[in-house]
Chains A and B, each alone.
Chain A
């Protein structure tokens, strides 16, 4: 069993018509969100997506969109307080 986080929130979108079935997304995703079926990528476990953006960045055909970022409450609170984008304030300290 692997830990499951909040359901139905991932911003992941796959545009099947641009997909050429190269399989990069299947390879880079650390949560097994994609699988290949008949030479096309399919999303098989969307709720496992942590929005890291690896699939989007490595898709050579720009078939994937996801609003990528780090799922870190401290970073978001910091960002809110300072009025910047999420920032864990740990740069250079190797906290994460």
Chain B
């Protein structure tokens, strides 16, 4: 059976077909091409998000057989890519579940990477006839969606939770499917935070645009508005957005406090103060900026909680209870203050 009989144009990461007694399976490339890298870059920038899915199904890595391990993953292309690029010289099966194009961790939280989906796909893809053993390797971060003992009860398959990071899988397999303590701990390193920044920035544009429009509106009635004074007055808000969406996430462990809103507000306050002094803004104008800018950075930092792997919903709820009213009070006072400044002709 030729490639063309199966599918007129298989995705670029399929490099061949693996024939077994239980059927013919697509073989995946274990090297990422330039195209894959470009795509993940675009996804990180927030472009190309929809349709970035892999077809759910069974894929072959190398030449797997009845005793090869089965690795289960989500059908989000980036999850699939980070798994296959670490499988190098191995022979293994990959079972891709239908998580609607969402990554393992989020899909497990939503329940799409869940017990029921796994059981359904084991049946739909005839997994009991594919292998002789009864073991499935799942990413540890899928555990919030999967009940291992229920999978065992209804299918006979043992769920083994693998390491959190796909890069540890080769060692995990060599080590008899035992993960070390470090492999079981989630991390949130500088690099892991860095890749999240573009999305945070893109999500902040509405707030920045609003602040800029507000400044422009405020400046117009005054006869001595110059381009320079306009720039001077809008800079603190661009700074506020950068403080909340870039500085706070990047330097998260080094900024005092536990609450994200507090961290963001603090960063925003000091950077605003610095900028205003640099731009020689004083008095009522300085005060206005010190009310408005930190409330923007605080809000943006608060929104970063969703991107981190350690914030509990109870904690977020608790910090929102005091930070949201404070942010509203600060920004409303800031807005009134700027109108008052205008009226006084400052």
A residues near B, CB below 8 A? 1-7, 9-11, 24, 27-32, 48-54, 57-58, 60, 67-77, 86, 88, 90-96
Contacts and interface: CB of A to CB of B under 8 A. Distances in A.
B136 interface: no
21 contacts: A3-B188, A3-B310, A5-B310, A6-B314, A9-B318, A27-B140, A48-B310, A52-B143, A68-B144, A72-B307, A73-B260, A73-B306, A73-B320, A74-B306, A76-B320, A93-B50, A94-B49, A94-B102, A94-B103, A96-B102, A96-B306
Q: How large is the interface on B (under 10, 10 to 19, 20 to 34, 35 or more residues)?
A: 35 or more
* 4 A-B pairs with the lowest CB-CB distances in the bound complex, closest first: A72-B306, A71-B311, A6-B315, A54-B143
Interface of B: 43, 46, 49-50, 52, 76, 78, 100-103, 105-106, 108-110, 140-141, 143-149, 161, 164, 181, 184-188, 199, 252-253, 258-260, 302-303, 305-320, 324
A53 B146 CA distance: 10
Q: Give the interface SS of chain A, mostly helix, strand, loop or mixed.
A: loop
Given A2-B188, A57-B143, A57-B146, A92 B102 contact: yes
B52 A5 contact: no
Contact of A70 (B100, B109, B185): B109
A8 to B, nearest CB: 9
Contact of B314 (A4, A10, A27, A28): A10
A26 to B, nearest CB: 9
Contacts of A74: 303, 306
Contact of B317 (A1, A54, A76): A76
A88 to B, nearest CB: 6
A20 B52 CA distance: 43
A43 to B, nearest CB: 14
Contact of B144 (A32, A52, A76, A92): A52
Nearest to B252: A3
A57 B108 CA distance: 11
Contacts of B308: 3, 71
Contact of A71 (B105, B141, B313): B313
A30 B185 contact: yes
Contact of A91 (B100, B149, B311, B315): B100
Given A30-B186, A58-B148, A70-B306, A91 B312 contact: no
B221 to A, nearest CB: 33
B101 A88 contact: no
B186 A92 contact: no
Contacts of B76: 94
A5 B188 contact: no
A71 B303 CA distance: 10
Nearest to A70: B109
Q: Which of A70, A94, A95, A96 has the most CB of B within 10 A?
A: A94
Contacts of B305: 71-73
B140 A73 contact: no
B89 to A, nearest CB: 28
Nearest to B46: A95
Contacts of A30: 140-141, 164, 184-186, 309
Q: Which of B145, B146, B309, B310 has the most CB of A within 10 A?
A: B310
B102 A72 contact: no
Nearest to A96: B106
A28 B143 contact: yes
Given A3-B252, A49-B312, A75-B306, A31 B144 contact: no
A47 to B, nearest CB: 9
Contacts of B141: 30
A92 B102 CA distance: 6
Given A4-B258, A52-B109, A94-B49, A69 B185 contact: no
A70 B313 contact: yes
Given A30-B185, A76-B320, A94-B43, A50 B310 contact: yes
